Amino acid sequence: MSNQEPQERTDPVEELDELMTDESAEPGMSYTIEYDDDTDSADAGADDTDTADNIDAEPEATAEPSADGAGTGDEEAAAAANTAAAALDEPDEEDSTDDVDDSVFRAYPMFSMRGVTVADAKTGEHIWNDLSMRCEAGTSYGVLVDAHDTRQHDTLVALMAGFAHPAEGSVMTKATPLHDLTPLELRGHRIGVLLQQFALRGDLSAAANLAYVMDASNRNYLQPIAVRAQELLTRVGFAPSGDDDATQAERSRALVRTLGAVDRARVMVARAIATDPDIVLADEPTATLDEADAADILDLLRAQVHGESKRRTVIVVTTDPHVAAAMDETIDLTH
């Protein structure tokens, strides 16, 4: 192995971001979700019920009461029964509101792909055809892809991260298509991405990698960026909380290119959550780790569904069934 220092190069992710701002990029298709309006049908049903009640009630209104008043008592009992039945049939306003809120939440998951179709630009062959999935907040997902089709794998990650857009269909976060967001809004606020390559800058320290992302996001933080970076590194286990401040600071100043594989993976997770995104997307995060270290990193990723002030969606794209199964739910795209 050569001892020469690698030459500094531009961050390919930044280059991709610049390319994605090109107005010639083909936009995805938009769509509208329509809800059935049950209000009119409910009112119509209520009118029909009232009419039927009135028709049935007319003979009782003209009935002769008995001498002992039994007829009057029967009428009062019937009226009370009708009132009670109407009260039971009347929907609770609070429950109705909750049902509407739940239906809207289910209609707009944290991340979704609907009818996504992508074709090879040269051959026209479909790479993905009519692909759909949905991922909810507060859940981690293992997305299993074919190990022998790297083109499908790479295209899927590019679509999910917003580096590419489908020819047909939509890729969305909540109710917003990814192509409607700028690269800064998308990867600086909405999605934290862990790529197999270029996820870190080797010429920067662990703490500086986090500060680099936070500075670029243009977000405001309650703490100084340096303090937040150190806390994040401690949270992911890179700078153990049992170490004193001086030891933690010294460890955090180590250049990323000098770190071992598991330490790099921990810094990658910290960098992905540095801007407190809604979605954490990881592409083969354990590819270079042994079994024990891989289990630790998968546990760490799964724990990120609990954000600082929100429930996140964590998505791991992998060709390893064991990695996919380590998440809360598995989405198998190999069939």
Closest CA to 161 of 179, 138, 134: 179
What's the half-sphere exposure (Cβ side, CA atoms, 13 Å) at 129?
5
| Backbone angles phi and psi of 170, in degrees to 5 | -145, 145
Who's near 147: CB < 8 A, 6+ residues apart?
A: 319
Mean pLDDT per 10-residue run, the chain (335 residues)? 46 49 42 40 44 43 42 55 50 47 62 95 92 96 96 96 94 93 88 85 92 86 88 86 70 88 93 93 94 95 89 96 97 93
How far is it, in rounded angstroms, from Cα 298 to Cα 330?
14
User: Domain residue spans in the chain?
Assistant: 109-332
pLDDT at site 83: 53
Cα–Cα distances in angstroms (integers) from residue 204 to residues 211, 247, 281, 309, 325, in the given order: 10, 18, 22, 29, 34
pLDDT at site 73: 52
What are the pLDDT digits (tens) for 40-58? 444 444 444 444 444 444 4
What are the pLDDT digits (tens) for 86-109? 444 444 544 444 444 444 445 689
Number of neighbouring beta carbons within 10 Å of residue 137: 17
Q: Is 112 helix (H, G, I), strand (E, B) or coil?
A: strand
Fold classification of 109-332 is Rossmann fold (3.40.50)
Sheet of strand 176-177: strand arrangement: 126-135, 111-119, 168-173, 176-177
> DSSP code of 186?
I
